[in-house]
Amino acid sequence: MASVWTVAKQELLTTLRDRRTLTSSILIPLLLIPLFTVGLPLLLGTLLGGQAQTRQTVGVVGKLPDALRNQLTLDSKTEKGVRLVSVTDPTAAVQKGDVDAALKATTPLPSEAGKSGTLQLFYKVGNLKAESGAASKVRSVVQTYNKDLVSKKLAELKLSPALLTPITLSTVNASNAVEASSGQLAFIIPFFMLQFILAGATAAATDSTAGERERGTLEALLATPAPRSTVLMGKLVATTLTGLLAAAFSVIGLSLSAPLALLLTPAGQSASQSAIQQAFGGSLALGPAGFGAVLLAAASVALLLSAALLTLSLFARSVKEAQTYIAPLTILIILPAVMLQYADFLKTGAGLYAAPLIGSMLVILDTVKGALSGPHLLLSLGGNVLAAGALTLLATRLFGREGVAFKK
């Protein structure tokens, strides 16, 4: 064991001297998760809020009722109205950027309920600026205008507005507090964490095998009295610890999200800004048990990925070649992580939680949604440890072969 730690210590010292490794293991995980869960939604919320306070230009073809024109141009406490200009071709005006949107009255528009008319709205569908700005304001004003006409007609007939809505449907959020704060994009959190672990462990794994072979120092190391299995275990320990470092700072970055959200979120933000922050999980808050579960899952992933990285790197003659072999591992992480967005539709049984890597992703996702299960956590840990053990045995056998150890 002492020999293993001696090799591991030497490998760690070599790894920690590399600034790129420190950046990928510490700085990037510490910054990117809070940046995604807090910074990005704040930026998007600010942009959308800016659209509400900006007066967009809307083209008009035909005649609009005076009351509707007044409501479109009227400023409110939360947003500004639009500027109406006459255009001849609404489609061309929008496409050229002369106006943000355009309205065309194909038939005379009513000024009282009981009559009908058609008003066409032209804008670039899918354009976030147009959707959140001119188009949103026009829809809101037209809806309010229709309600005003109906309310006025009902008042003339001495009827209650409640006549139009016999049943009022109210929505009650049945999610627990953690699940409600995790957001619809919570599936990206396990993806980020596994990517950071992979990035942190890759540098150590490739440098300690293919890198030493490329520099010609591996032969000298294998000429020492220490058994090759001891040398390999030392390299595995060093690579795993580097991955654990990235995992730990990923969890720290996750834990900083909620305090940063409270600190940076402006008071009195709009409903749309709150919805964006909620979708990105900016208000996510985990307890000690949740952070502990995430850290355990991340640690088992670090062990598994380290064993896989060392095994693949043994076949490479250079660091560049090793990185080519390692590239498919990124795909193995991306594909399950993308599928996690449909996890609500999946029947996740014990077999799926026991699957290496996939089980850990599910456990992390369950944890950030407040649905952590102890048996599922143990299954994921067991699956990762067993897979890591199998890969370590394979790497040991390969490392014992002269053709692999002294590959030229």
Instruction: Give the global pTM.
Output: 0.71
Mean pLDDT to the nearest integer, 69-87: 89
Q: Which residues pair with 105 in a beta bridge?
A: 119
pLDDT at 102: 95
Distance CA 389, CA 46 (A): 49
Mean pLDDT, rounded, of the chain: 81
Residue 367: its H or E element: helix 358-368
Residue 57: its H or E element: strand 57-61
pLDDT at 277: 53
Most confident range (mean pLDDT) of 15-24, 106-115, 335-344 is 106-115
pLDDT at 246: 83
The yes-or-no verdict on residue 89 having pLDDT over 70 is yes
The yes-or-no verdict on residue 133 having pLDDT over 80 is yes
Candidates 3.40.50.150, 3.40.50.300, 1.10.1740.10, 3.40.190.10; CATH matching 55-162: 3.40.190.10
The yes-or-no verdict on residue 206 having pLDDT over 80 is yes
pLDDT at 184: 60
Task: Compute, in degrees rounded to 10, the torsion defined by CA atoms 380, 381, 386, 391.
Answer: 100
The mean-pLDDT minimum among 84-88, 103-107, 223-227, 275-279 falls in 275-279
Whether 229 contacts 399, CB under 8 Å: yes
Whether 356 contacts 275, CB under 8 Å: no
The yes-or-no verdict on residue 281 having pLDDT over 60 is no
The yes-or-no verdict on residue 119 having pLDDT over 60 is yes
Helix (H, G, I), strand (E, B) or coil at 121: strand
Domain definitions of the chain by residue range: 2-47+180-405, 55-162
Q: What is the CA radius of gyration of the chain?
A: 30
279 or 403, greater pLDDT? 403
Distance CA 301, CA 305 (A): 6
DSSP one-letter code for 115: B
Order of strands, sheet of 119-122, starting from the edge strand that comes earlier in the sequence:
83-86, 57-61, 101-105, 119-122
Q: Where does the pLDDT of residue 173 fall: very low under 50, low under 70, confident under 90, or very high at 90 and above?
A: confident
Write the pLDDT tens digit of every residue in 340-385: 777 777 777 788 899 998 999 999 888 887 778 889 999 999 999 9
* CB atoms closer than 10 angstroms to residue 275: 14
The yes-or-no verdict on residue 64 having pLDDT over 70 is yes
Q: Which two tokens stand for residue 279?
A: 């979708």
Helix axes 136-156, 66-73, angle to 10 degrees: 140
pLDDT at 177: 66
Closest to 388 (Cα-Cα) out of 330, 326, 302: 302
Mean pLDDT to the nearest integer, 89-118: 89
pLDDT at 219: 66
pLDDT at 339: 80
Write the pLDDT tens digit of every residue in 186-202: 777 788 888 888 888 88
